[in-house]
Amino acid sequence: MIDFVHEALLYRDAEQFIGGTAPFVLDGLSAGDPVLVAVPQRNVDLLKAELGGDADRVEFLNMTEAGRNPGRIIPGVLTQFANAHPTRRARIIGEPIWHGRSVAEYPACVQHEALINTAFERRRTSILCPYDTSALDPRWLDDAARTHPVMVEEQRRWPSPVYGDPIGTAELFNQPLPAPPASALTRPFDLHTLVAMRKLVSHYAGRAGLTDDQVEDLVLAVNELTTNTILHANGSGTLSIWQEGPSVVCQVTDRGTVTNPMMGRIQPGPNTKGGYGVVMVNLLCDLVRIHSGEHGTTIRVYVG
């Protein structure tokens, strides 16, 4: 019996979306399995209308909100749902890549899709990921084949010939980040300046127009990242902060190296010391980008 199933559903219109997702949901309900559908709201509405009264037995999330940060999806959506039903096979439809995803978000999306395979490889879970072939970049569809063991289109189902090692695929998107803009405020920090860094972020984010809750989330996220630098990366680093559209962006750079590709994706066990910080950062922020190599690590977070 296969415990974990991860398939990419290729669809080009509403009819194909319903044809690929409704049977998946109904099969799960017939088996008595819990079902989660986390897709953009337009597809939530389509599937609810198709399911009729059966929709009341399904949990629905608007993925453009719940999964706005791709790094949040594994710990905050998929794992949370599966953990709530430990004795049953969790059946999940998750659409993390939709038309409108930005160039900045996309590498984190592919890393998410690849690392699902590592996060759930020993769990009784079925995950179906729809991809809109009429709207998405063809290169993004090629990446879907690299991150999903099985491809589905209409009545066809086939093993992906280019599916690869999830960690290796995620590493391909461990890409250097563009330099901060010239307008960015950049400050070195160490143990003695952490309070000053929190005040800097709070003041800047407030003046940039973030709500009080958003300011609090950003300050907490930056505090976690700078504290991690103090504890794990030779005790000092650099903080940069700037505004990008409606978002305030903070970047923490240090000389440490990330060796665990699942960092921030998996909640540590109850007996584990530490490891919660980057998970919390993923849950707090609208986008988290990480690049780590032999010369150090850069973590960039967006709120707004």
Read off φ and ψ for residue 6, nearest 5 degrees: -135, 110
| The pLDDT value given to residue 233 | 84
Tell me what the pLDDT averaged over the chain comes to.
94
Provide the whole-model pTM: 0.92
pLDDT at 266 over 90: no
Digit-coded pLDDT (tens) for 215-230: 999 999 999 999 999 9
- Amino acid (1-letter code) at residue 251: Q
| The pLDDT value given to residue 111 | 96
* Fold of the domain spanning 185-303: Heat Shock Protein 90 (3.30.565)
The CATH number of 4-172 is which of 3.30.1280.10, 3.30.70.260, 3.10.350.10, 3.40.50.300? 3.40.50.300
| The pLDDT value given to residue 173 | 94
Digit-coded pLDDT (tens) for 166-195: 999 999 999 999 999 999 999 999 999 999
Q: How many CB atoms within 10 Å of residue 270?
A: 5
pLDDT at 267 over 90: no
pLDDT at 99 over 90: yes
| The pLDDT value given to residue 62 | 98
Residues pairing with 152 in the sheet: 9, 157
Contacts of 86 (CB under 8 A, 6+ apart): none
| The pLDDT value given to residue 270 | 54
Structural domain boundaries in the chain: 4-172, 185-303
Residues 28 and 23: their CA atoms lie apart, in Å, by 8
| The pLDDT value given to residue 180 | 96
Could you tell me which of 150, 151, 153, 147 has the C-alpha nearest to residue 169?
A: 147
